Amino acid sequence: MPPRTTPTERQKRIGAELRKMRLAAGVTTDYAAGLLGIDRTKISNIESGVRIITPDRLRTLACHYACGDGDYIEALASMARKRERGWWEQYRGSLPAGLLDIAELEWHAARLHTTQVMHLPGILQTEEYARAIFDGVLPALPRLEVELRVVHRMQRQQVLDGPEPMEYMGFIHEAALRMRFGGSKVMREQLEYLLLMSERRNIVLRVVPVETGVFPGAGNAMTYADGPVPQLDTVLLDAAGGPIFLSAESQIARYRAHLSWMEQAALDVAQSRDFIHGIASDL
């Protein structure tokens, strides 16, 4: 397979998992290259995501790395399998690669959890609310890019539709519900849309009131994407410089603990709906 100029986060993850397996087995890149009959530099390129690996070659490496977790190996092989171009690929070259990686992560996730502090969940935003967010970026974005970002964000919502929609749970801090991006009318329509979407069987929204006080991860919006197996779970942090993808076991464990804390502290579903409805009524 030819090398990629810029690997996607999904391809980087495959490579990172192979490198983790190799190091755990105490295998050198020279030995791994010999197993596949390739130059050792190509193993480094595979592990960095620059070079694509086929499912069969991935299974060969995993076997010689003495990895006995069949479900994990098959999940990785499935990730490596060539797929049709995702809908987000139409934006490659027009939008930052990080935005495309977010869409790809959501598309392949088994389940999504998010925590939001200042903005409402991107996957549940209205066009006008999203437009207000992108209009506030400094330096100002060109109008065409703003509109492309809005359309891209709306298309991300398709993972919540269809005959087998993805399960989604969003924890939203009260501050995000009260920030009037776009003005009162836009915000009221956004909150009403949240309430409408919360009636779907696959969507759960829970509010964290300001009275809760200090909470973990208060400075970051976070997405926790369940993979096909727990070892392939991914955490996405929303940062000013672009999305940050985390996959180390210690990092994953930390954010699982954050979600557990939110489960205990947030209002229940009915209380959360009443809370959102009350804020919308005051606008």
Give the right CATH number for 9-80 from 3.40.1360.10, 1.10.260.40, 1.10.3860.10, 3.20.20.450.
1.10.260.40
Task: Name the strands in the sheet holding 111-116, side by side, starting at the edge strand that comes first in the sequence.
Answer: 203-208, 167-173, 111-116, 221-226, 234-239, 242-246
CA distance 54 to 4: 14
Do the domains 93-282 and 9-80 match in fold? no
Q: Counting runs of H as helices and runs of E as strands, what totals does the chain give?
A: 12, 6
Q: How far is CA 26 from CA 19, 140, 229, in A?
A: 10, 50, 24
Find out whether 14 and 73 touch, Cβ atoms under 8 Å. Answer: no
Annotation: CATH topology of 93-282: Endonuclease; Chain A (3.30.870)
Predicted pLDDT at 215: 77
Residue 81, token pair as written in the block: 């399998």
Predicted pLDDT at 11: 95
**Residue 245: strand pairing partners:** 236
Count CB neighbours of 214 within 10 A.
5
In which residue ranges of the chain is pLDDT below 50?
1
Q: Are strands 234-239 and 167-173 parallel, antiparallel or unpaired?
A: unpaired
Q: Are strands 203-208 and 167-173 parallel, antiparallel or unpaired?
A: parallel
pLDDT tens-place string over residues 201-229: 999 999 999 998 887 776 779 999 999 99
**Domains of the chain, residue spans:** 9-80, 93-282
Buried b (16+ CB within 10 A) or exposed e, 230-242: ebbbbbbbbeeee
DSSP 51: B
CA distance 79 to 71: 12
